[in-house]
A and B are shown apart, each in its own frame.
Chain A
Amino acid sequence: MTFFDLGLVLASVICVAGLVWRVSKWCGRPVRNSAPFSPLKGMQAFVVDVLLLARTGRQSPLRWIGHTLIFVGFMGLLLFHALDDQITSNFFFGYESTLDPWQFLRNLFGLMVLVGLGIMTYRRVANKKLRELTRFQDWFAFLLVGGIILSGFFLEATKIMSPRVFDRMVYEYLVVEDGSDLTALKAVWADKYGVVFTERLPMNEETLARGMELDEESCMDCHSNTSSSFVSRTMATALTPIGPALNRSQATEVFWYLHLLLCFVGLAALPFGKFLHPLTTPANLIVRQGRRDGEGETPSVRKGLGLDACTRCGECSLHCSVAPAFSVMGNSDILPSEKLISFKKYQQGELFGDALTAFADGSRTCTECLRCTDICSAGINLQELWMEAKQAAQVQRVDMNMAVRQLTPKGRIQTFECSDCKPDIYGLADNKESYQGCVQCTTCTSVCPVVAVCEDASADLDLMPQQIMNLLRMGMKEEAMGARMVWSCTTCYKCQEHCPQNIRVADVLYELRNTAAVRMRKGNQ
Chain B
Amino acid sequence: MTTDNTIYDVMVIGSGFAGMAAALFAANRGLNVVQAGSTGGIDFSTGFIDLMGVHPIEEGKRWMDPWACIDTAVKEMEGHPYGLLSKDEIAESITEFTAALSENGLDYVGYDDRNTCIMTPVGTVKRTYRVPKTAWKGVEALEKKAPTLIVDFFGLKGFSGNQLVEVRKKDWPDLRCARLEFPGARGELYPEHMAWQLADASNREKLAEALASHIGDAEYIGFPAVLGLNDPLSVIAHLEELTGKQVFEIPTMPPSISGPRLRGAFDRCLPAKGIRTLSQKMVGAVTVGDDYMEFSVGKGAGACMVKAKAVILASGRFFGKGLKGQRDKVVEPLFDIPIRQPEGRDGWHEQQFFDASGHPVNLAGIEVDAKLRPLNKEGEPVHETLFAAGAILANHDWMRQKCGAGLAIATAYKAVKSLKG
A-side residues, CB < 8 A to B, are: 441-443, 445-447, 451-452, 454-460, 464, 497-500, 502
Chain A residues closer than 8 Å to B260, beta-carbon distance: 446
In the bound complex, CA of A455 to CA of B319 (Å): 33
In the bound complex, CA of A431 to CA of B235 (Å): 45
Give 25 A-B contacts (CB < 8 Å), ordered by A residue. Answer: A441-B254, A446-B191, A446-B255, A446-B260, A451-B190, A451-B193, A454-B185, A454-B187, A455-B185, A457-B187, A457-B188, A457-B189, A457-B193, A458-B155, A458-B188, A459-B187, A464-B188, A497-B280, A498-B39, A498-B280, A500-B38, A500-B41, A500-B44, A500-B319, A502-B282
- A442 contacts B185, C-beta separation under 8 Å: no
Q: Which residue from chain A places its CB closest to the CB of B157 in the assembled complex?
A: A442
Chain A residues closer than 8 Å to B406, beta-carbon distance: none
- B186 contacts A502, C-beta separation under 8 Å: no
Q: A441-B255, A442-B255, A446-B192 are known contacts. Are A498 and B187 too (CB-CB below 8 A)? A: no
In the bound complex, CA of A459 to CA of B187 (Å): 7
Q: Which residue from chain B places its CB closest to the CB of A452 in the assembled complex?
A: B193
Chain B residues closer than 8 Å to A457, beta-carbon distance: 185, 187-190, 193
Say whether chain B's binding surface is mostly helix, strand, loop, or mixed.
Answer: loop
- Closest chain A CB from B394 CB (angstroms): 23
> Quick check: is B184 within 8 A (CB to CB) of the other chain?
yes
Most A Cβ at <10 Å: residue of B40, B188, B196: B188
- B43 contacts A498, C-beta separation under 8 Å: yes
Chain A residues closer than 8 Å to B44, beta-carbon distance: 441, 500
In the bound complex, CA of A135 to CA of B411 (Å): 64
Which of A447, A464, A500 sits near B40, CB closer than 8 Å?
A: A500
B-side residues, CB < 8 A to A, are: 38-41, 43-44, 155, 184-193, 196, 254-255, 260, 280, 282, 319
Knowing that A451-B193, A458-B188, A497-B280 touch, tell me 12 more A-B residue pairs with CB under 8 angstroms. A443-B255, A446-B255, A446-B260, A452-B193, A454-B185, A457-B187, A457-B190, A458-B155, A458-B187, A498-B43, A500-B40, A500-B43
Chain B residues closer than 8 Å to A498, beta-carbon distance: 39, 43, 280
- Closest chain B CB from A70 CB (angstroms): 37
- B39 contacts A446, C-beta separation under 8 Å: no
Chain A residues closer than 8 Å to B282, beta-carbon distance: 502
Chain A residues closer than 8 Å to B184, beta-carbon distance: 455
- Closest chain B CB from A426 CB (angstroms): 19
For the complex of A and B, list the 5 residue pairs with the smallest distance between their C-beta atoms, beginning with the closest: A458-B187, A456-B187, A456-B186, A458-B188, A446-B192
Chain B residues closer than 8 Å to A500, beta-carbon distance: 38-41, 43-44, 319
Q: Which residue from chain B places its CB closest to the CB of A467 in the assembled complex?
A: B188
In the bound complex, CA of A458 to CA of B188 (Å): 6
- A445 contacts B190, C-beta separation under 8 Å: yes
In the bound complex, CA of A497 to CA of B302 (Å): 12
Chain A residues closer than 8 Å to B188, beta-carbon distance: 457-458, 464
In the bound complex, CA of A375 to CA of B138 (Å): 58
Most B Cβ at <10 Å: residue of A445, A457, A458, A502: A457
In the bound complex, CA of A452 to CA of B192 (Å): 8
- Closest chain A CB from B285 CB (angstroms): 16
Which of B41, B155, B190 sits near A446, CB closer than 8 Å?
A: B190
In the bound complex, CA of A498 to CA of B43 (Å): 9
Chain A residues closer than 8 Å to B280, beta-carbon distance: 497-498
- Closest chain A CB from B39 CB (angstroms): 5
In the bound complex, CA of A500 to CA of B44 (Å): 10
Chain B residues closer than 8 Å to A497, beta-carbon distance: 280
In the bound complex, CA of A500 to CA of B321 (Å): 9
Q: A456-B187, A458-B187, A498-B43 are known contacts. Are A447 and B38 too (CB-CB below 8 A)? A: no
Chain A residues closer than 8 Å to B185, beta-carbon distance: 454-457
- Closest chain A CB from B37 CB (angstroms): 11
- B190 contacts A455, C-beta separation under 8 Å: no
- B192 contacts A502, C-beta separation under 8 Å: no
In the bound complex, CA of A441 to CA of B255 (Å): 7
In the bound complex, CA of A456 to CA of B186 (Å): 4
In the bound complex, CA of A447 to CA of B254 (Å): 14
In the bound complex, CA of A225 to CA of B117 (Å): 105
In the bound complex, CA of A442 to CA of B41 (Å): 13
Chain B residues closer than 8 Å to A441, beta-carbon distance: 44, 254-255
Which of B43, B186, B187 sits near A443, CB closer than 8 Å?
A: B43
- Closest chain B CB from A436 CB (angstroms): 13
In the bound complex, CA of A520 to CA of B266 (Å): 47
Q: Which residue from chain A places its CB closest to the CB of B40 in the assembled complex?
A: A500
Most A Cβ at <10 Å: residue of B40, B43, B190, B254: B190
In the bound complex, CA of A499 to CA of B38 (Å): 8
- Closest chain B CB from A451 CB (angstroms): 6
Which of B39, B41, B193, B254 sits near A499, CB closer than 8 Å?
A: B39
- Closest chain A CB from B123 CB (angstroms): 21
- A459 contacts B255, C-beta separation under 8 Å: no
Chain B residues closer than 8 Å to A459, beta-carbon distance: 186-187
In the bound complex, CA of A510 to CA of B184 (Å): 29
- A502 contacts B38, C-beta separation under 8 Å: yes
In the bound complex, CA of A498 to CA of B196 (Å): 18
- Closest chain B CB from A296 CB (angstroms): 36
Chain A residues closer than 8 Å to B40, beta-carbon distance: 500
Q: Which residue from chain B places its CB closest to the CB of A499 in the assembled complex?
A: B39
Q: Which residue from chain A places its CB closest to the CB of B189 in the assembled complex?
A: A457
Chain A residues closer than 8 Å to B41, beta-carbon distance: 500
In the bound complex, CA of A247 to CA of B44 (Å): 90
